[in-house]
Amino acid sequence: MHAAFFLLLGASLARYLLRHPWEIRSPWIIGLSAALTLLYVLGPVFGPRATPRRFVRPWLFTVVTVWTVLVVLAPSFAWCAVPLFYTGLRTLPMRAAIGLVVLLTVFVVTAQVQLSHGGFDPNLVIAPPAVAAIATAVFVHAERLVTRQRALIEDLIRTRRELAATERREGTLAERQRLAMEIHDTLAQGLSSQQMLLQAADRTWDTDPQAARRHVRTAGSIAEHNLAEARRFVHDLAPADLAEGGSLEEALRTVAARESAGFRVDGTPVALPDRVQSALVRIAQGALANVREHAGATTAAVTLTYLDDQVVLDVADDGRGFDPGQSPPGSAPYDTEPGVRGHGLPAMRARVRQLGGTLTVESAPDEGTVLSAAIPLEVS
């Protein structure tokens, strides 16, 4: 649009000089053309964004005034009004801009009538208002599109920020839940076992000193293991049994032996991702802790089964069992009921769900419990 203005201004000056080689008003025409060029350069070329807002209207008034004088002196300068249409529409409020367009159009029509030498031509009266109307409509439509696009971009940016904030909150909550489960499956279970053993030692300290000392030694062994778990927890949150045993089978065998449970492997072992191995060890620890603390079982067994498409961990006991339709002891969420300890089954379900697997519990009162965690082999 700026280039079009300078082109029309130069063409109008060239037309005037060709039609009127030199006359008394020629210096005025040339001087006003130079002044209009300078004003236009100082205005929209370097602004209006670069121009202070309080100077925009005086600047535009000056440009229109100089252009009006040029049109009065040389009507051929009338077509420079088209770029001025857009300049006014860009720099003025809509009503003031439309008023300016109407005023410029009147001057253009008057100039075209003065330039005509063959009588009245309806095109000279109709064409300029039509051009002005088209120019205004195009600008208004473009402004509406820009406003709509700007609103869409702002909505998109706001939505992206909200989504990022939501993802951060969800990530924080997920990390808190993961840390809570890790603490439950390591330190909390160990401390609970130590408490039970020390209470048993206290009860038998006078009647059966040897049994009391065995309980204390066992509690010390668990405390030592808990210390290793705590260090591992701080380091990388991997089960200490898994790090020490070197393989999933050895880690599960160690966990089962610590709880006096049997262990068996069925199928051909395959390499599993570290997070799957960690989850299976944690599930075995949690399940055996529940057996020790709540089941009242005499025997328990851990079975690791490798199938074609999944690996299955089963923990079975012959304890008192429970109704699966009701929450078993120790299975309530960590933060729902004061006084209820641990995550229990919800923590195991959360671990298995994160790996795309399923956790099932089969039990009945006085008939024992079988907990089964199945994880797809394609998890990696």
Higher pLDDT, 325 or 310: 310
User: In which band, very low, low, confident or very high, does the pLDDT at 337 lie, cut at 50, 70 and 90?
Assistant: very low
Q: Mind listing the pLDDT tens digit for each residue in 165-196? A: 887 788 667 767 767 777 776 677 778 888 88
Q: Within a domain: residue 151?
A: no
Whether residue 77 lies inside any domain: the answer is yes
pLDDT greater than 90 at residue 374: yes
Dihedral sign from CA coordinates of 313, 315, 316, 322:
negative
Owning domain of residue 311 = 245-380
CATH assignment of the domain containing 363: 3.30.565.10
Mean pLDDT across 269-295 = 86
Contacts 24+ apart (CB under 8 A), 6-15: 6/37, 6/40, 8/79, 8/80, 8/82, 8/83, 9/33, 9/36, 9/37, 9/77, 9/80, 12/74, 12/76, 12/77, 12/79, 12/80, 13/77, 15/76
Residue 193 token pair: 């076992």
Sheet containing 300-306: give its strands across: 262-266, 300-306, 310-317, 369-376, 358-363
Phi, psi of 298 (to 5 degrees): -95, -30
Q: Is the pLDDT of residue 11 over 80?
A: yes
199, pLDDT greater than 60: yes
| Listed residues 91, 120, 149: the one ending a domain | 120
Q: Is residue 167 part of a domain?
A: no
Structural domains counted in the chain: 2
| CB of 73 closer than 8 Å to CB of 49 | no
Q: What is the pLDDT of residue 341?
A: 38
For residue 160, what are the CA distances in angstroms to 82, 150, 151, 165, 267? 42, 15, 14, 9, 48
Mean model confidence pLDDT for the chain: 80
99 touches 83 (CB < 8 A): no
* CA–CA dist 41, 135 (Å, integer): 22
120, 141, 165 - which closes a domain: 120
Note whether 238 and 232 are within 8 A (CB).
Answer: yes
- Residue 126: inside a domain, yes or no? no
Q: Is residue 113 part of a domain?
A: yes
Least confident of 124-138, 242-256, 319-333: 319-333
The predicted model gives 271-283 an average pLDDT of 87
270 pLDDT exceeds 60?
yes
Residue 371 host element (H or E): strand 369-376
Establish if 144 belongs to a structural domain.
no
pLDDT, position 50: 46
Mean pLDDT of 68-92: 81
- The two beta strands, 358-363 and 369-376, are antiparallel
Structure tokens at 43: 């205005």
Token reading at 170:
């969800």
**322 Cβ partners below 8 Å, 6+ apart?**
328, 329, 363, 364, 365, 369
Q: Quick one: average pLDDT of 215-241? A: 74
Q: Regarding predicted confidence, which is higher, 171 or 329?
A: 171
pLDDT in the model for residue 290: 84
Statement: residue 101 has pLDDT above 50: yes
- The pTM for the full model equals 0.42
DSSP secondary structure letter of residue 364: -
Higher pLDDT: 116 or 373? It is: 373
Residue 364 falls inside a structural domain: yes
Residue 295 and residue 371 in contact, taking contact as beta carbons nearer than 8 Å = no
Calpha distance 261→289 (Å, rounded): 11
CA 131 from chain center: how many Å? 48
Asked if residue 173 is part of any domain, the answer here is no
Domain closes at, from 104, 120, 136: 120
pLDDT grade for 87, boundaries at 50, 70 and 90? confident
